[in-house]
């Protein structure tokens, strides 16, 4: 339902916010958000991580699988949520009561998400602070959310916002390719596990004992988070874009077009500079950034089309999408705080359930691992349905 205000053009020379908002929520965004969470749960709740389909496996260093796109997709959705949550708050120069309240809310949510992420890492470190992993998925979400939300509220000057994002891009690229790592890493362009700026900075700033399973680097490390912030900002821009257009078909067209531009940039970089700009999620290289932003716009377009053509089939994704943060955190809490911390017959409860359920019927096969994950996913979809039907939308 549109408002009877003067329509803003799609591209504005002053790059100001559109005055006309054509829908309170875009269903495609909620469907995309829910689809991301479903795929996340399906991937992380496999019965046997050594015996699962490759589509759910992460590439260890270079190249990519579908699983490597899920987290950037979710960050993209976080950015879109920021726009819809704060777009009505006055953001002109100076402070006002609404902006001050919103900034306190952003700070509170950022701290809570970060602390929840740290607490979820406690069982994996045997509740010892000296080996506690400081970074992680929720911690990265917290940082990306806090930075992009603050930037969005701090100023309505989009050129300044683009300038900050460009500086993050340059900071990441200059350190990744220009920082000479001490020791045997005498070539600054080396992007190995031990010689990259990512591993060097993580080890120096976080400490080797506080990295992911004490590896040479952290998959959610400090340097790569700079690029992850840009994925989040791209999601904010996608929400800003679709609210300029009343026609769903026009939204789908522009999302697909923008996604195609980013994919073309990624293909050019990988083919023209394969040694300098390989696709790497741990390093979050510029080619990986362009790939994930492009695919995010493509998937947003496809989810919008899916919701338009078969609205009933997208309902499970819609249910999950309306409580995405809660379901994401709750599923991780169940995994790490309960299923992995509780042991039965000298094995984690999660593994015991797997061995005494689907393995007895299907054997320890890829199908069994996927079936086990599917059952867990269906349980969370039912939780999402229950919350949605009772109009309970939990914010963390």
pLDDT tens digits along 59-81: 777 878 888 888 899 899 889 88
pLDDT tens digits along 320-365: 888 887 888 788 777 765 566 677 777 777 777 778 777 778 777 7
376, 330 Cβ separation under 8 angstroms: no
Percent of all residues in the chain with a pLDDT value above 70, rounded to a whole number: 85
Q: What is the 3 state secondary structure string of the chain?
A: CCCCCCCCCCCCCCCCCCCCCCCCCCHHHHHHHHHHHHHHHHHHCCCCCCCCCHHHCCCCCCCCCCHHHHHHHHHHHHHHHHHHHHCCCCCCCCCCHHHHHHHHHHHHHHHHHHHHHHHHHCHHHCCCHHHCCCCCHHHHHHHHHHHHHHHHHHCCCHHHHHHHHHHHHHHHHHHHHHCCCCCCCCCCCCCCCCCCHHHHHHHHHHCHHHCHHHCCCCCCCHHHHHHHHHHHHHHHHHHHHHCCCCCHHHHHHHHHHHHHHHHHHHHHHHHHCCCCCCCCCCCCCHHHHHHHHHHHHHHHHHHHHHHHHCCCCCHHHHHHHCCHHHHHHHHHHHHHHHHCCCEECCEEHHHHHHHCCHHHHHCCCHHHHHHHHHHHHHHHHHHHHHHHHCCCCCCC
Average pLDDT, the chain: 79
Query: Quick one: pLDDT at residue 393?
Result: 80
Query: Quick one: pLDDT at residue 87?
Result: 82
Higher pLDDT, 232 or 125: 232
Percent of all residues in the chain with a pLDDT value above 90, rounded to a whole number: 16
381, 315 Cβ separation under 8 angstroms: no
> Does the pLDDT at position 22 exceed 50?
no
Query: Quick one: pLDDT at residue 162?
Result: 92
Higher pLDDT, 107 or 207: 107
Query: Quick one: pLDDT at residue 9?
Result: 39
Instruction: Tell which residue, 210, 74, 96, has the closest CA to residue 145.
Output: 74
pTM of the predicted protein model: 0.82
pLDDT tens digits along 357-386: 777 787 777 888 888 888 888 989 999 999
Higher pLDDT, 159 or 308: 159
Higher pLDDT, 243 or 142: 142
Cβ neighbours of residue 168 under 8 Å, at least 6 residues apart? Answer: 226, 227, 229, 230
pLDDT-derived band at 113 (thresholds 50, 70, 90) equals confident
141, 81 Cβ separation under 8 angstroms: no
pLDDT-derived band at 236 (thresholds 50, 70, 90) equals very high
- Integer Cα distance of 110 and 105 in angstroms: 8
Interval 137-146 mean pLDDT: 90
Higher pLDDT, 94 or 259: 259
pLDDT tens digits along 194-209: 777 778 888 877 776 6
> Does the pLDDT at position 394 exceed 50?
yes
Q: Which structure tokens are listed for 270?
A: 């990988």
- Other beta carbons within 10 angstroms of residue 12's beta carbon come to 12
pLDDT tens digits along 252-304: 888 889 999 999 998 998 888 877 778 888 888 889 999 999 999 998 888 88
- Integer Cα distance of 100 and 95 in angstroms: 7
15-24, 52-61, 106-115, 287-296: least confident range? 15-24
């Amino acid at each position: 339902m549109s408002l009877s205000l003067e329509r803003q053009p799609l591209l504005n020379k002053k790059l100001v916010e559109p005055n006309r908002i054509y829908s309170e929520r875009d269903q495609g965004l909620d469907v995309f958000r829910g689809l991301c969470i479903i795929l996340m749960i399906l991937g992380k709740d496999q019965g046997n991580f050594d015996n699962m389909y490759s589509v759910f496996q992460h590439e260890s260093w270079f190249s990519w699988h579908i699983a490597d796109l899920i987290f950037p997709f979710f960050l993209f959705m976080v950015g879109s949520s920021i726009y819809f949550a704060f777009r009505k708050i006055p953001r002109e120069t100076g402070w006002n009561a609404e902006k001050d309240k919103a900034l306190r809310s952003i700070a509170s949510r950022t701290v809570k998400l970060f602390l929840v992420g740290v607490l979820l890492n406690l069982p994996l470190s045997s509740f010892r602070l000296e080996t506690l992993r400081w970074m992680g998925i929720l911690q990265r979400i917290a940082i990306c959310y806090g930075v992009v939300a603050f930037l969005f509220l701090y100023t309505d000057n989009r050129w300044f916002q683009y300038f900050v994002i460009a500086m993050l891009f340059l900071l990441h690229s200059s350190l990744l390719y220009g920082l000479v790592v001490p020791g045997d890493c005498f070539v600054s362009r080396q992007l190995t596990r031990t010689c990259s700026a990512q591993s060097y900075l993580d080890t120096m700033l976080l400490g080797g004992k506080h990295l992911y399973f004490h590896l040479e680097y952290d998959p959610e490390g400090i340097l790569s988070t700079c690029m992850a912030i840009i994925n989040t900002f791209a999601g904010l821009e996608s929400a800003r874009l679709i609210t300029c257009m009343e026609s769903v078909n026009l939204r789908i067209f522009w999302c697909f077009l923008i996604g195609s531009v980013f994919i073309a940039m990624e293909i050019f970089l990988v083919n023209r500079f394969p040694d300098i700009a390989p696709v790497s999620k741990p390093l979050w290289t510029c080619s990986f950034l362009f790939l994930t932003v492009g695919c995010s716009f493509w998937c947003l377009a496809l989810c919008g089309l899916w919701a338009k053509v078969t609205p009933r089939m997208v309902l499970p994704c819609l249910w999950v999408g309306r409580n995405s943060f809660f379901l994401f955190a709750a599923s991780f809490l169940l995994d790490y705080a309960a299923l992995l911390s509780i042991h039965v017959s000298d094995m984690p409860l999660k593994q015991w359930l797997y061995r005494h359920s689907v393995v007895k019927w299907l054997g320890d096969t890829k199908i069994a691992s996927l079936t086990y994950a599917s059952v867990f996913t269906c349980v969370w979809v039912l939780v999402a349905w229950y919350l949605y039907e009772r109009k309970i939308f939990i914010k963390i």
